[in-house]
């Protein structure tokens, strides 16, 4: 294996980073994605600069190219991994601070071992092991994410493979020791440069796919979720409810509808302002979702009116669930003064097979029951009677 071959592959790695940078910039210009894309681009840019310093070693002072070049690569790869792990969210400042501290320690340790005269093979061992840890961090962040998709899990396996290769490279550097050079004409060194090139291509393309995936998810949420409360909007709630309702009719099982409206909500807006009123709506949505559980559907029907579809719920069960909602609100306000006190009126209607098998009619009956609860003095539950 000639020196030129190794040098050429290294150069292609540098060129690959430049091409990926161009793709990232074009992507950012043509989409509205924000997130950590800018951090990822900076990471790739720093890796390119660090690789360039290695390529022109000798044209620039050796000490400068080694210390600054490796330090810049450490920062660049850290930014890449940081952006991949937190691709769908901006992390807390405390998390960012910990990442900064860890990278700073890595750079200081590398600088120390270089100035202490540690030979290149051992420095390669240190650098490769750090890159392996970076790769394993990326893999863990992707695989164990609370919303890990198939794409993220596949990318996690890629980073595990990359980490394994870095460990092999680290052991090779440890064995060769002092005679190790950047452009060592060996099969393992050639494979190392090729793997870095593949990493550049796969990582960047996967990151672009993940950001595209996030954009699609957000678009779907915009179409299905209420922007203020995060629960289902009216249209999507009715679509989901109709599907489940039809299945329950075929199975001859009951289902209940809850129509819920705030009592004197206009007073809250007039007294505290619409921002606080929005917080109240979000507060109710969050607390109610926690009470009804995942089997029941909660939607914002309009304004301060909410709707619940509860499958496999009899009239007796519906009354108990409504009482739980009102009891939870009363308990919350006994211990929490951060939100203005509010109450809700609830109307329920239960579908009984062979008696009421029309979704629209079921909602109308629950709405009539809600109006009756308002007429009766509010802050109570009224059930439709058939």
Nearest residue to 162 (alpha-carbon basis) of 126, 133, 204: 133
Domain shared by 274 and 132, yes or no: no
Note whether 114 and 135 are same-domain residues. Answer: yes
Q: β-strand 255-262 against 344-351: which pairing, if any?
A: antiparallel
Residue-number span of the structural domain to which 54 is assigned: 3-224
Does 238 share its domain with 212? no
What is the model's pLDDT at position 1?
A: 41
Question: What is the distance of C-alpha 318 from the center of its chain?
Answer: 35
Per-residue confidence (pLDDT) for residue 3, from 0 to 100: 44
- Asked if residue 229 is part of any domain, the answer here is no
pLDDT at 149: 83
Residue 287 belongs to some domain of the structure: yes
Q: Count the neighbouring beta carbons within 10 Å of the beta carbon of residue 259.
A: 26
Q: What is the pLDDT of residue 2?
A: 46
Q: Are residues 267 and 182 in the same domain?
A: no
| Residue 218 · residue 99 · CB < 8 Å | no
Q: And the tokens for 223?
A: 């179409």
Beta carbons of 307 and 258 less than 8 angstroms apart: yes
What is 240-269 written as a DSSP string?
HHHHHHHHHHHHT--EEEEEEEESSHHHHH
Q: Is the separation of the CB atoms in 37 and 215 below 8 Å? A: no
Q: pLDDT at position 200, please?
A: 74
Considering 204, 224, 244, which residue would you say is the last residue of a domain?
224
56 in any annotated domain: yes
Give the pLDDT confidence score for residue 6 in this predicted structure. 64
Same domain for 192 and 332? no
Q: What is the sign of the dihedral through the CA atoms of 197, 201, 56 and 122? A: negative
Query: 3-state DSSP call for residue 338?
Result: coil
d(CA 99, CA 249): 55
Residue 266 belongs to domain with CATH number: 3.30.70.270
Distance from CA of residue 323 to its chain's centroid?
Answer: 35
Cα 211 to Cα 84: distance, rounded to the nearest angstrom: 10
Neighbouring-strand partners of residue 325: none
Alpha helix segments (H runs only) across the chain:
3-30, 37-55, 62-85, 93-115, 120-143, 150-176, 187-224, 234-251, 265-272, 274-292, 315-335, 359-375
313 with 353, same domain? yes
Tens digits of pLDDT across the chain (386 residues): 444 466 676 777 777 777 777 877 787 777 665 667 888 888 888 888 888 887 777 777 888 888 999 999 999 999 999 998 888 777 888 899 999 999 999 999 999 999 999 998 899 899 989 999 999 999 999 898 877 788 888 889 989 988 998 898 888 888 887 777 766 666 666 666 677 777 777 777 778 888 888 878 778 888 899 989 999 999 999 999 999 998 998 888 999 999 999 999 999 999 999 999 999 999 999 999 999 988 999 999 999 999 999 999 999 999 999 999 999 988 888 776 788 999 999 999 998 766 666 889 999 999 999 999 999 999 999 999 76
Cα-based distances in Å from 190 to 20, 53, 59, 167, 169: 21, 19, 23, 15, 11
Tell me, yes or no, whether 91 and 216 share the same domain.
yes
Has residue 76 been placed in a domain?
Answer: yes
**Are β-strands 381-383 and 344-351 bridged in parallel, bridged antiparallel, or unpaired?**
parallel
Number of domains composing the chain: 2
240 and 215 assigned to the same domain: no
- CA-to-CA distance for 43 and 73, rounded, in angstroms? 8
What is the sign, positive or negative, of the torsion defined by CA atoms of 207, 182, 171, 120?
A: negative
Q: Is residue 355 part of a domain?
A: yes
CA 35 from centre of chain: 10
Per the document, the length of the chain is 386
- Within this chain, do residues 187 and 244 fall inside the same structural domain, yes or no? no
d(CA 337, CA 340): 7
Q: How far apart are CA 314 and CA 311, in angstroms?
A: 9
Residue with tokens 């030129």: 4
């Amino acid at each position: 294996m000639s020196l030129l071959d190794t040098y050429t592959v290294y150069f292609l790695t540098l060129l690959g980073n430049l091409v990926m940078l161009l793709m990232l910039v074009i992507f950012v210009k043509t989409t509205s994605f924000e997130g950590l894309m800018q951090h990822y681009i900076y990471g790739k840019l720093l890796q390119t600069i660090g690789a360039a310093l290695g390529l022109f070693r000798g044209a620039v002072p050796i000490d400068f190219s080694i210390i600054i070049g490796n330090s810049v690569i450490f920062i660049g790869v850290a930014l890449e991994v940081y952006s991949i792990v937190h691709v769908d969210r901006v992390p807390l400042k405390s998390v960012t601070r910990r990442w900064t501290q860890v990278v700073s320690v890595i750079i200081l340790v590398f600088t120390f071992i270089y100035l202490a005269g540690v030979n290149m093979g051992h420095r390669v061992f240190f650098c490769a092991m750090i890159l392996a840890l970076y790769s394993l961090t990326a893999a863990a962040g992707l695989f164990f994410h609370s919303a890990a998709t198939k794409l993220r899990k596949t990318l996690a396996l890629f980073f595990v493979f990359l980490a394994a290769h870095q460990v092999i490279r680290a052991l090779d550097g440890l064995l060769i020791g002092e005679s190790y050079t950047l452009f060592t004409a060996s099969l393992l060194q050639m494979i190392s440069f090729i793997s870095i090139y593949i990493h550049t291509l796969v990582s960047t393309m996967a990151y672009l796919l993940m950001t595209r995936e996030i954009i699609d998810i957000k678009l779907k949420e915009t179409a299905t979720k209420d922007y203020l409360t995060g629960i289902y909007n009216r249209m999507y709630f009715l679509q989901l409810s109709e599907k489940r309702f039809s299945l329950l009719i075929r199975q001859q099982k009951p289902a209940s509808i809850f129509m819920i409206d705030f009592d004197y909500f206009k007073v809250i807006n007039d007294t505290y302002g619409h921002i606080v009123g929005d917080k109240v709506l979000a507060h109710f949505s969050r607390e109610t979702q926690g009470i009804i559980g995942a089997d029941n559907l909660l939607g914002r029907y309009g304004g301060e009116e909410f709707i619940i579809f509860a499958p496999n719920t009899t009239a007796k069960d519906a009354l108990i669930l409504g009482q739980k909602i009102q009891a939870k609100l009363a308990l919350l306000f006994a211990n929490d003064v951060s939100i203005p006190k509010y109450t809700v009126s609830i109307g329920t209607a239960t579908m009984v097979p062979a008696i009421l098998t029309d979704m629209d009619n079921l909602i109308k009956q629950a709405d009539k029951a809600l109006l009756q609860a308002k007429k009766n003095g509010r802050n109570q539950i009224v059930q439709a009677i058939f």
